[in-house]
């Protein structure tokens, strides 16, 4: 089982490196910015004809009804 996991990890790393070479650096930066800017939520990457055309960010926010403001929702 461990051998299979090692092979899968290696394959994923190689695939990730290949994909990173094809994605322009400015797009990668935008994706990373989106991911790091959200405490709780999701980032959706829209691709059209093998190109990133849109990045959607959804942040989950729960309002505290005791009047003390808002806090991020924990999933």
pLDDT in tens, 37-63: 998 899 999 999 989 999 999 999 878
pLDDT in tens, 11-42: 776 666 666 568 899 999 999 999 999 988 99
- What span, in angstroms and rounded, lies between the C-alpha atoms of 48 and 50? 5
């Amino acid at each position: 089982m461990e051998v299979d996991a090692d092979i899968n990890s290696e394959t994923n790393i190689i695939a990730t490196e290949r994909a990173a070479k094809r994605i322009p650096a400015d797009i990668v930066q935008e994706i990373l910015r989106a991911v790091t800017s959200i405490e709780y939520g999701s980032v959706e990457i829209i691709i059209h004809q093998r190109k990133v055309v849109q990045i959607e960010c959804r942040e989950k926010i729960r309002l505290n009804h005791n009047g003390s403001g808002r806090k991020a929702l924990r999933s």
